[in-house]
Structure 1
Amino acid sequence: MIDLSVPESGYCAVVLVASYALRGSTGFGGFAAMPLLALVIPMKVLVPVWTLLTISSSATLFGKDRRHVSMAMILRILPSCTLGILLGLWLFKTLDAAWLTRGLGALVSGYGFYALWQTRGGGPAKPPPRAIAPVASFLAGAVGTIFGTMASLFFAVYMDAIRVTKDQFRGTLAALMMTLAVIRGLGYFAVGEFGRESLLLFAAALPFMLLGIYLGDRVHSGMSEMTFRRVVCAILILSGVPLMIK
């Protein structure tokens, strides 16, 4: 069983509440918790826990936008996404925790730099070509399964490429994240990655996740969306560096 000190346990609780409060209030920022938690919890344990938290949080947030879900889009995404999940399961089972941790650090820091660069001026970015959609779906399945997070970024690229409406984007993304997490969870269970430690940590983390979502629904931040995104980018960059050298 993982033996977390009192300060480490308090740190994890604060990270969970803060990240899910951000997700509950803005729909963005929840995945920033993964690299922060990976500083004190081994990746092999954390990834299955995060998958269960993703299922729970997505189900909690799904109700508001469920009428906008495009089932046709989900059915188009699932084949290539499932192939990505299979590759991700093999890599997750094959790679050791140290390489997974370093890979997550490189991924989140790289994305943090990219997203920070995207916040510069110059008007709206040109949407990606439609041909990139199946590649983005495959990467969502693979990356989400290997690291337990970041899949939503590739789903966002997919939906941006096929030009969905704002309502469809929010509703379908919530449904996709829940569906992907369920499939990933079944895969982790099949390869024996849902151990006692993961289940106990999920049970301990669930109340803090629900508290974060509850607060996020009720707390209005005075920070502008642009400033908020830049702060999240900075957190991703800074949290990724120690993971790469851990």
Structure 2
Amino acid sequence: MPEVLDLTFFAFAIPAVIFAGISKGGFGSGAAFAATPLLALILEPGAAIGLMLPLLMMMDVTALKPYWGKWDAPSAKALLLGTVPGVAIGAALYSFAEPDIFRLLIGLIAVGFVVFQVARARGWITPAPKPMSAGLGGFWGLVAGFTSFISHAGGPPAAVFLLSRRLDKTTFQATTVICFWAINLLKFIPYFALGIFTWQTAKADLFLIPFAIIGVWIGVHLHHRLSERVFFAFTYLFLILTGAKLIWEGLT
């Protein structure tokens, strides 16, 4: 964290936090992790993820009320059972792994998923007609827990599983909200133990909390005014943009 929270910091941090809130509140959380690479342009990666976690937790709490009880319990359970070992692996590897490797993997997952969905929609490939099983949900939950710990990028792996379940947009959104509320709570203790949080990040979070809440409110508002087709088009667009950004950063 910079010693002084100056205009440059807020010029990057405020749009990043609002954007993450919009994604959390209305677009399945898939694009929320784009805030971390944006902040990493002016902060060390550890400071960027440490800054974002309390804000993401605030967004989770804000988004819980409008979506309470609307999630798909079997899908949420399948994902969450896998996130526990995923977060544990992330905590074990975080202190010595090369961050660019994780950026590259996360970007490939995001872009690869969208390519798969487009190819399936156009009939270029014909996947099995059945939704993914709970076992595969556990696998994608493990990936989501791991990538979420490293850079708050659990949205794309979770979307791979949830979109295969053919949920309507509100059920999809509610399921991501409850899952990432639980995942972010799970991440808090190892983040604290690893020293990712500092007094300076806590101070910055106090200034940014209102923008996190505003972003979620905007997202909820947009969620109820967009058709399901437009909603998923936005989801794919966000995944492509954020995935391409992470691939570029990982390679360069």
CA contact (8 A) 2:9 2:42 kept: yes
User: Is 1:191 equivalent to 2:194 in the alignment?
Assistant: yes
Following the alignment from structure 1 to structure 2, what is the Cα–Cα distance between the partners of residues 229 and 75?
22
**Contact (CA 8 Å) 2:109, 2:156: kept in 1 or not?**
no
Alignment counterpart, residue 183 of structure 2, candidates 159, 180, 183: 180
SS for the counterpart of 2:68 is: helix
Residue of structure 1 in register with 2:7 after alignment: 6
Looking at structure 2, the residues matched to 82 and 228 of structure 1 have their Cα atoms a distance apart, in angstroms, of 29
**Partner residue of 2:105?**
107
- How many residue pairs match? The answer is 240
Shift of 1:207: 1.9
In structure 1, distance between residues paired with 2:193 and 2:230: 44
Contact kept? 1:140, 1:150, Cα under 8 Å: yes
1:122 matched to 2:122: yes
The answer (yes or no) to whether the contact 1:31–1:150 under 8 Å persists in 2 is yes
The residue number in structure 2 matching 1:50 is: 52
Unmatched segments (≥5 aa) in structure 2: none
Alpha-carbon displacement from aligned partner over 1:100-157 (angstroms, at most 9, x marks no partner) = 2x1343134324432442335515965445542222122222221122x122333333
Q: Identity over the aligned pairs, expressed in percent? A: 17
Name the CA distance, whole Å, in 1 between partners of 2:19 and 2:163. Answer: 28
Evaluate the alpha carbon distance shift between residue 154 and residue 113 of structure 1 in structure 2; reply closer, same or farther with a 3 A threshold: closer
Single out whichever of 214-223 and 193-202 deviates more from structure 2. Answer: 214-223
SS in structure 1 at match of 2:95: helix
Q: TM-score, normalised on structure 2?
A: 0.77
Q: CA RMSD in A?
A: 3.3
After alignment, is 208-217 or 126-135 more displaced?
126-135
TM-score of the superposed pair, with normalisation by structure 1: 0.78
Does the 8 Å contact 1:35/1:104 carry over to 2? Answer: no
What amino acid sits opposite 1:139 in the alignment? V
Distance in structure 1 (CA, Å) of the matches to 2:179 and 2:142: 13
- 1:84 to 2:86 alignment: yes
